[in-house]
Every structure is written in C-alpha cells, then in structure tokens.
Amino acid sequence: MTENVNHDLKVDYTRDELARQHFASGLRSYVLNSLSGNMRTVYTKKVEPAFKKKNKRAPKTAPEIHKALKPETIFKFYSAMRCNTQEMCFRSVIPGIEREAEDLARRVKILGQNTEKAQGTLTVDPKLQIPRYVSELDVHLMAGNYHEEHIPDDVSQGAIFDNGLSVFAMGFLGPRMDDITQSVSTYFTKRYPDFKPKKILDLGCTLGHSTLPWKERYPEAEVHGVDVGAPAVRYAHGRAQSYGVTAHFAQKDAEHTKYPDASFDIIYSCMFLHEVPKKNIRAIFKEAYRMLKPGGVMLHYELPPNSMLGAYDSFYLDWDSFYNKEPFYKAFRDMDPQDECAAAGFKKGKYFQYTAPSLNFYGADAIDKAVADAKIHTDGENHMGRLVDGVQWFTFGAWK
Ligand SMILES: C[S@@+](CC[C@H](N)C(=O)[O-])C[C@H]1O[C@@H](n2cnc3c(N)ncnc32)[C@H](O)[C@@H]1O
C-alpha cells in the first residue's frame, strides 16, 4: 500500500508491515463506503423523519444533523471506526520509518548533493517559531505532526505523511499522490493560457506533493515551497531531487515569509488553509497579497465552503473538526472565500473559483471540457468536494 512512495526515500517494509498497511487501507475503504452509506440510510429513513415529525420541518444545518445523528449507534460506530482506521494508517508506517530514520536523513543529504538530475535548494531556519496551531496539535491524528524532530536532520515527519497518505488515499491520488495539484494546475493553465508566471510559491507545501506539479506546468518558472516543519521541507527537498525536479524549499512561516514585496506571480496552497485558525488565514492572505506582483494570482485548493453544500454533506465534512483533530476545519468552511480575498486587498471583481475534475480519474479531456463549460456557466455551479458525484477539486483565487 505504500507503493505510491516510489522515489529514493522509499522505506523497505517487512511483509508483516505491508500486510498491516493493506488491512488499514481496506478497513478505511469499508468505513468510508459501506459504513458511511449505512449512516446516510439511517439518517434518511429514521433520523430525518423523526426530526420532521417533531419540528415540522427538515433539519436545515449541519449542526442540527450532527445533534440528531449523534445518539445513533451507527454514528458512534462510524466515528469510532474512522478514528481508529485513521490512526492505523499512520501506525502501520511508523515502525519502518523509525527503523530507517537515520538512513532517510542520510539519503536526503546525498540526494541534495547530487545536482545532475535537479538543482533544488533547501533552507532550514532553526530559530523559526513554530505557530501554536502546529506545535500543540497532532493534526488529523498524525503523531508528531509536521515539525517534531528526534535526531539530527530528521525527516521522519515528512516520511510519515508521505507513507501514511499512501495507505490513507487508497490509490485515489495518483501515482505520486499529487493528483489534486496536477488537476488544479492543469485546469489553471488551460483556463488562463496567456499567463506565463516566472516565480511560483506553494504555502504549507509539506513534502512537495503540491509544489512539483507547477514545475511541470511551467518548466521555465522558479518554483518555491515553504512550510514551518523542518522535517517536511527536508523530505520535500530529497523527494524533488529524487524525481529530478528543481524546486526550492524553505522552512518559513507563511504569515511572514520575509520574501520581498511583489516577488511572485502565483501564490498557491493545497489543503493548507483548513488547518489554520481564521485570524492566521487572514494574515496569510495579506502576506500573499504583499508578495504578489501586480497581475499575479493567489490560488487555493480547499474543501468547498459550507455555503456551497447541502446540510448533510456539510455535516459529513465537518465531522473531522469534532473527531479527527482538525479543530479549524469547520470555522474555515464557514468562511466566505470571496469576502476573505477582498479583506486582504484583492478587488471583488478579481475573485474566481472552479472545480477541476481529477486528472487521475478522468484524464485531460475532462479538464478541457470543464474549462469549456466554465466559460458558459460562470456561476460556479459545477462545484463539489470529495465523496460526492465524482472526484473534483474545488479551487478559489483572486488576481492582484
Ligand atoms: C495538510 S498539510 C499541506 C499539504 C500539502 N500542501 C500537500 O498538498 O500535500 C499542511 C501543512 O501546512 C504547514 N503549515 C501550517 N501552518 C503553517 C504556516 N503558518 N506557514 C507555513 N506552513 C504551515 C504544516 O506544517 C503542514 O505541512
């Protein structure tokens, strides 16, 4: 199941470890498909009719659905199983990573020194203050989060995210687990074919899944990724060198990066904002506005806002906020992305959003079709997030 970690930082797992990974992945698939389907059925057949009888109306909001479903056995079973399988994904990869931790750090060094295939750089800042919303959490139940270090030049937390994601994603994210940014960036290039960025920055890049596809789209551009986690950026550097992609990774806080004003053409993030508290998201947007060149673009792949979804789907996505150590998830999804872009300085008419069909699932033709459709339907109607009507990635942004 960790076969999607197909670069030089691959861990040599034992057969027992691989069997455990397969089991964790299979169980997770059962929870997300069968159990979640059963929970929906109990909601539709039992909980919603009972709510209607009592209140003379259907539930209108995600919190109402959450409250009504909470006493049901299926909700408790689903929640317990989801938390357990989430932990299993990480636990199934940690022993191998602990065994190889020193060797992984050594491999990253060697990959960095080998400049034949790629000439990427790595900058680590041991004095960087890790924000409390990272240092005080094990986000999505990932022990050690993105920043903890136990040995010199530790890359383990990067390896845990990479290997854990491979078990977690069940092949969903494509061969390099970068389908989201592959799809989002492909859509972007097709929708804005005349835009030729020279410098691109990926905020909260972790190990570069969201960074490297930009170099594929724009080979002439200088591509950077920043993250507060030193193990994350070290691993990102090694992974990029291994794939032969030149990218520059730095340990920096996206709220104050110290990059000069007007230095980037694209400032992007992927699955980053929902892990950040509201006031810090606002600081990050202002910092992005400052760093963007006039005519540049800020772009974020994220979970779709609650205002775009029905009450049940909102409840389903917000579950993570309550039970999966994603404390900022719901507050982020309650925000209006357009208002937040405007508050950071972007003009209202410069806002846009789109949903990119998954390149991995549907191919480039589906993206061409979505771009053509978007030119006709500009109301963002064909939106969606995960687990509903196909695999599509919601993206919003604004031009400076
Ligand atoms: C869910 S991960 C992002 C995943 C990654 N972009 C991808 O597509 O695979 C969130 C990342 O944001 C980083 N992070 C959180 N707060 C940050 C901040 N203020 N500045 C930079 N990185 C931050 C975390 O360390 C973590 O690596």
What are the residues whose beta carbons fall under 8 Å from the beta carbon of 105, sequence distance 6 or more? 151, 152, 153, 154, 155, 234
d(CA 363, CA 354): 17
| Ligand 1 pocket, CB under 6 A | 131, 134, 146, 203-206, 209-210, 226-229, 232, 253-255, 270-272, 275-276
3-state DSSP: the chain helix, strand, coil percent, rounded to 5? 55, 10, 35
If one residue of 123, 138, 146 were mutated to test the ligand 1 pocket, choosing by the most ligand atoms within 8 A of its CB, it would be: 146
How confident is the model at residue 385, as a pLDDT? 32
Backbone angles phi, psi at 323, to 5 degrees: -125, -10
- The domain tally of the chain equals 1
pLDDT grade for 296, boundaries at 50, 70 and 90 = very high
CA distance 133 to 139: 9
Dihedral-angle region of residue 55 (phi above 0 means left; psi in -120 to 50 means alpha; beta otherwise): alpha
What are the DSSP calls for 49-60, one per residue?
Answer: HHHHHHHSS---
The rounded mean pLDDT for the chain is 94
Give the three-state DSSP class for 312.
helix
Q: How many CB atoms lie within 10 A of CB 35?
A: 18
Model confidence over 139-181: pLDDT tens digits? Answer: 889 999 999 999 999 999 999 999 999 999 988 899 999 999 9
pLDDT at 389: 59
pLDDT tier at 380, thresholds 50, 70, 90: very low
pLDDT recorded at residue 390: 74
- Output the six-digit token pair for 50: 């009972």
**Mean pLDDT confidence for 97-123:** 97
- Residues 93 and 167 sit within 8 Å (Cβ to Cβ): yes
Q: pLDDT, tens digit, for every residue of 17-33?
A: 999 999 999 999 999 99
- Give 383's pLDDT tier (boundaries 50, 70, 90): very low
Which pLDDT score, from 0 to 100, does residue 377 have?
53
Domain of residue 74, CATH code: 3.40.50.150
| 104 CA from centroid of ligand 1 (Å) | 21
Cα 140 → chain centroid: 12
Range of weakest confidence among 30-34, 201-205, 258-262: 30-34
What pLDDT digit, counting tens, does each position of 340-378 carry? Answer: 999 999 998 999 998 899 999 999 999 999 898 877 654
Closest ligand 1 atom, CA of 181?
8
For residue 153, the CA-to-ligand 1 centroid distance in Å is 19
pLDDT tier, 133 (very low <50, low <70, confident <90, very high otherwise): very high
- In sequence order, the β-bridge partners of residue 398 are 298, 351
Confidence of residue 392 (pLDDT cuts 50, 70, 90): confident
> Which of 14-18, 190-194, 294-298, 308-312 has the lowest average pLDDT?
308-312
Average pLDDT over residues 87-116: 97
Residue 36 structural domain: 1-400
pLDDT of residue 374: 79
Specify the ligand 1 atom closest to the Cα of 226.
Answer: 21
**Confidence at residue 1, expressed as pLDDT on a 0 to 100 scale:** 73
Residue 397: its H or E element: strand 392-399
Range of weakest confidence among 63-72, 217-226, 313-322: 313-322
pLDDT of residue 103: 98
Testing ligand 1's pocket by substitution, the residue of 132, 275, 320 carrying the most ligand atoms inside 8 A of its CB is 275
* pTM, full prediction: 0.95
**Ligand 1 atom with least separation from CA of 269:** 6
pLDDT at 77: 97
pLDDT at position 171: 83
